[in-house]
Every structure is written in C-alpha cells, then in structure tokens.
Amino acid sequence: MVKVAVAGCAGRMGQRIVCAVDQSAIVGLGAGFEKKGHGAVGKDIGFVAGIEEKKITIGDSVNVATGCGAIIDFTAADATEANVAFARKQGINMVIGTTGFSEAQKQAISQAARDIAIVFAPNFGVGINVLLNVVKRVASVVGSSFDIEVIEAHHNKKKDAPSGTALGLAEAAAAGLKISLKDHAVYGRQGNVGARKQNEIGIHAIRGGDIIGEHTVMFAGSGEKIEISHSVVTRDVLAQGAVRAAEFLCEKKSGLFDMQDVLGLK
C-alpha cells in the first residue's frame, strides 16, 4: 500500500483528506504536517481529524513525508512551491489542489513533473470536471452569438480570487470558442467600462459566510439565457477526489496530469 503524506493536515480540508485516505483500500496514511508553531504539531493525526488514533504524529515540516509515495497538498501557493521542490528531490509524487499560483510557480510545477508524477487541478470534484467538458461544448456550439460570464462564490476565509475553478471554467469556454482567455478575460467591472466586447469572458468572485464552493457559467444570448451551475455542499467530495488522484498516481513515475486524466474524460 502506497503511503500518503497530507500537507496542512489539521486544516478544514486537510482533516477531510486524512479521513478519505484512511478509507482507501489502495493508499494509506503515512504522515501529516503543518506549519511551524501550529497548535496541532505533535498531536496524533487521527485524533485531530476526529477519527481513531493512527500512531502518526503531525510534524512541522515536509521532511516527515520522506519515504511516502505521494503528498496531497491543498495549502497555500508559497508553501506548495516549497513542498514541490522537496518532493522532486525525494522522488515523491504529488496531488496539488492549491490555487493562487503565479505563472512562475506554475512553471516550477510543470518542470517538477519531468521527474515526478503530479496531478494538478483547481477542483477535484467529479461534477465540476464533467462541467468543464460541458462548458467547452456549449461554448463551441453557441459561439460568439452568446455572451459568457463566470460567477463564483466561496467562504470569507478564501484568500485568492477568482477561484482556480472559475479560471478553469473560463479556460474551458475560451477553448470552446478557440480564443485565448488571456486576451479576452475581464475580471469584474466598475465605472464607465463601455459596451461589452465580442468574445469577452467576464469572471466575478463573491466572498461570504461558509460557502464551500459555487460556480455558475452564464451564456446570455438574444432572447434567451443558459445557466450551468455546480455547488459543493461538503468538502468530502473534494477530499475523495484528491485520494482518487493519489491512487491514480500509484503506477506513474512522471508527468503532469489533471482530474480529466484521472476520471478518463480526455
């Protein structure tokens, strides 16, 4: 059984990942770590996650992942960047659900995938990955005759905006239109911005309460409108997808993959 280390294992998402790994018949818990000074450091990973004790003490650095076959990381961009560098040196595969990366950090992940296998995705839910395919298909059918807007909502603790999933949906729409998102994205609107340009893709972020994740893609045409929405009501959906990705990596040595690969949607 391949052992998995969970980065940020005491956080809300990390705890659900710990529970999901514990339920897998293919991978098992090998380690967990938090940032230095975190109150969970030194405690049993199972106790912190609300399950039975696992005789695995939470560490304060990625070094505790030594000897594991994979690291699941849903932390923060800078922390993940350091964890990727460590994993590459140690030959440990990675599942990355962190968002908010700079282009340089994304490039570092791509380069690391030359030596280790990485599943890197903005969202690990099955439903949202099906939605990505649907959005691309709808955009290709309606073309420039419909205006496309992406609206996302998350809890008030989320630091990056727009969400990685919203950007992924916008990328899917752009791919369907055969255009570059970089050249056509508009992030929110304020003031006298003028009339909407053709093929403009609007992306909007809402933050409030404890919303886990809601995404809507709107195709607005003349006299009609299509809305495609997805909501996450429990983090378990994302945690289970992350574990499925870790299981997928068991036979992989190198390469950069996403959840479309894991789910066989490509």
* Distance from C-alpha of 236 to C-alpha of 165, rounded to nearest angstrom: 17
- Identity at 62, one-letter amino acid code: V
Rounded percentage of the chain residues whose pLDDT exceeds 90: 98
Q: Across residues 164-180, what is the average pLDDT?
A: 97
Q: What is the mean pLDDT of the chain?
A: 97
Which tops the pLDDT comparison, 100 or 63? Answer: 63
DSSP strand pairing (93-96 vs 117-120):
parallel
Residue 155 marked in a binding site: yes
Residue 124 marked in a binding site: yes
- Supply the pLDDT for residue 92: 99
> In order of start, what are the domains of the chain with their CATH numbers?
2-124+235-263 (3.40.50.720), 126-231 (3.30.360.10)
Q: Is the pLDDT of residue 266 over 90?
A: no
What region does 122 belong to: left with phi over 0, alpha with psi -120 to 50, or beta? alpha
**pLDDT tens, position by position, 139-165:** 999 999 999 999 999 999 999 999 999
* Distance from C-alpha of 107 to C-alpha of 84, rounded to nearest angstrom: 12
User: Which pTM does this prediction carry?
Assistant: 0.85
- Supply the pLDDT for residue 193: 94
**pLDDT tens, position by position, 220-234:** 999 999 999 999 999
Phi, psi dihedral angles at 70 (to 5 degrees): -155, 155
Residue 53 marked in a binding site: yes
* Distance from C-alpha of 171 to C-alpha of 131, rounded to nearest angstrom: 12
**Assigned token pair, 238:** 């994302």
**pLDDT tens, position by position, 43-86:** 999 999 999 999 999 999 999 999 999 999 999 999 999 999 99
Q: Across residues 22-29, what is the average pLDDT?
A: 98
Residue 12 marked in a binding site: yes
Estimate to the nearest angstrom the gap between the alpha carbon of 149 and the chain centroid. 21
Residue 165 marked in a binding site: yes
DSSP string covering 185-243: EEE---SS--SPPTT-EEEEEEE-TT--EEEEEEEE-SS-EEEEEEEE--THHHHHHHH
Is residue 71 a contact partner of residue 18, using CB atoms and an 8 Å limit? Answer: no
- Supply the pLDDT for residue 124: 96
Q: Across residues 175-196, what is the average pLDDT?
A: 97
Q: Which residues are catalytic?
A: 154, 158
Using only C-alpha atoms, the chain has a radius of gyration, in whole angstroms, of 19
